[in-house]
Chains A and B, each alone.
Chain A
Amino acid sequence: MVPDMMTGLVQTAGKTVFALLSVPLLVLIAALILGADGRAVNLDAILAGSSTAHPLGTDALGRDLLARLAEGLTLSLSVGVIVVLLGSLIGISIGVTAAWMGGWVDAVLMRVADIVLSFPGILLAIALAAMLGPGVENLVMALVAVGWVGFSRLARAQVLALKHAPYVEASLAGGSSVGYIATRHLLPNIAAPLLVEASFGLAAVIIGEAGLSFLGVGVQPPAASLGTMIKEGTGLMLVEPLLVFWPGLILFMVVMAVNLLGDRLRDRLDVKGNSGGA
């Protein structure tokens, strides 16, 4: 047997995930307790250092950095979860349909998937987001348009392998509807690899959201995204390096925790697949 996962990593993965998530969690909790408004401009407190009112200081518009980090993190996580949910729902439906119907339906659907896969994911998302215009909804749409493909290919391959399994054929012979078979027999049996795909997908989407926002085609001011904060911070790097350090660190820790979780899931569920990552 090939040790597909690093034994050491797996043993300590739980603790590491917890350690990685502790800083982002602390940011969320502290921001909740302090209750500062991350959008409140205060021109008297521009680039202020750490204080009781602003534990991490303020940005170029005097806005509380901690509150903005919490807002950005919440946004990144929500976008990540929504995109993965929508993408998996669409992708799995398409993949199952393609595998089940076969013939031209399969050919057409998989051709479309191939074409989407012919772009570097981030490039297609950038182009789509730019064309759709700024805003969180459009950002979600752009990321879903890229993200469904992985799920559809995976679901299709899994269903193809199960389509002629005795229990599926027995259920068909017994008069079960296709919908019943799909939800009752197929989905539970293909769930494990899809779950692994979802966790790596979540990491990729979180980086994708921040990347698009960094490039200016995602979340727009005054809303905070970790990506826009890194962009703003880069401009002020010489004056206040912490403005770019914090949002990036939080983003990095969350993404690494999610990736590690994906590794662990893959190992637990014994899914063979390509090594994940963005």
Chain B
Amino acid sequence: MLGRVCAIRILQAIPTLLGVATLVFFLLHLVPGDPVDALLGESALVADREAMRHALHLDLPLIQQYTAFLGGLFTGDWGNSIVDGRNVFELIMERLPATAELAAFSLVLALVLALPLGYWAARHAGSSKDYAAMSFSLLGVSIPNFWLGPMLMLLFSVTLGWLPVSGMDAPGSIILPAITLGTALAAILSRMARSSWLEAMSSDAMRTARASGVSEQKIWWRHAARLAAVPVVTMFALQLGAVLGGAVITETVFDWPGLGLLTIEAIQRRDYPLVQGCVLIIAGFYVLANLLADLLGLWLDPRQRHGS
């Protein structure tokens, strides 16, 4: 049963990925304005324009460009950067580890902050402790990361001199970017943890457990935690994808040489094949994270297996 439902979900992700690739392709090919004009300027020589057009395969019919693009996705031929002529896929793979490192640190930080906070708020629901915890979480979802980053930099790097300002070479350079990226995640997760824990605690199963003399501590940690974990784990998996979107801004703020910064550099240099590749890979990871969230939900919560 579980295997079949999972297989269906995995198969369903294939057309979604194809749709994503198609949207990215048309996004870059159907927008107003000529990319060659944008790259070379309108005063460029006709011969130069034609050469560029040919190099980017823009002289082919759209449908042929599209099939070549789809074919290239599978063979690793994602085109070449206009700026330095290097293979787009290689460029992306070079930057991927830095983003993975930042994402991993941020997610771990978010979890370490969110779970105790959510538990604490749920345990003291309705009290001033709950109020304080949830105010922090509201603060976390509302603070723009492109402001939080500079403010942290100002305090910890410039004023106190404890941490490096930017880049990733100096020791401790990951701390501020990870806090910047992880804050919103921690806020969202702690809210989720709090409400799931409370919901679990109010279920009949907990009332039964309490009535049969199970200790309060055990109910919170053994019984309710297991129920509450389902939405929290699912949300965490969703954040695996969302963190890549946030990385675009955080990496720009801290000059962190990952995929996000590469995307923005490519946009600024109008390096269309590279923009295409970057957007595609981030969206691809996002789809996979959503799929993972789905599968985890199915695995943890048997109720979800029905009706799907």
A253 to chain B, nearest CB (A): 9
| A7 interface contact, C-beta 8 A | yes
Question: Chain A interface mostly helix, strand, loop or mixed?
Answer: helix
Would you give the 0/1 interface string for B180-218, flagging 1 where the beta carbon is closer than 8 Å to chain A? 000010011001100100110010000000000000000
A40 to chain B, nearest CB (A): 26
Contacts of A180 in B (CB 8 A): none
Among A133, A211, A233, the residue within 8 A (CB) of B33 is A133
Please provide the chain A residues from 42 to 56 with a CB less than 8 Å away from any CB of chain B in the complex: none
Nearest A residue to B203, CB-CB? A2
Alpha-carbon separation in the docked complex, A4 to B244 (Å)? 29
| A263 interface contact, C-beta 8 A | yes
Alpha-carbon separation in the docked complex, A227 to B216 (Å)? 49
Q: Is the CB of A207 within 8 A of B31?
A: no
Q: Is the CB of B138 within 8 A of A241?
A: no
| A3 interface contact, C-beta 8 A | yes
Tell me how many residues of B have a C-beta within 8 Å of chain A: 64
Among A123, A130, A251, the residue within 8 A (CB) of B147 is A251
| A119 interface contact, C-beta 8 A | yes
Please provide the chain A residues from 201 to 217 with a CB less than 8 Å away from any CB of chain B in the complex: 203, 207, 210-211, 214-217
Looking at A90-98, A159-167, A184-192, A270-278, the stretch in contact with chain B turns out to be A270-278
| B135 interface contact, C-beta 8 A | yes
Q: Is the CB of A130 within 8 A of B154?
A: no
Contacts of A111 in B (CB 8 A): 15, 19
Nearest B residue to A115, CB-CB? B19
Tell me how many residues of A have a C-beta within 8 Å of chain B: 57
| B32 interface contact, C-beta 8 A | yes
Q: Is the CB of B248 within 8 A of A122?
A: yes
A-B contact pairs, 20 of them (CB 8 A): A7-B126, A8-B130, A8-B131, A9-B131, A118-B16, A118-B20, A118-B283, A120-B242, A120-B282, A123-B282, A211-B249, A214-B146, A217-B267, A234-B253, A241-B158, A245-B151, A248-B151, A252-B144, A259-B138, A260-B138
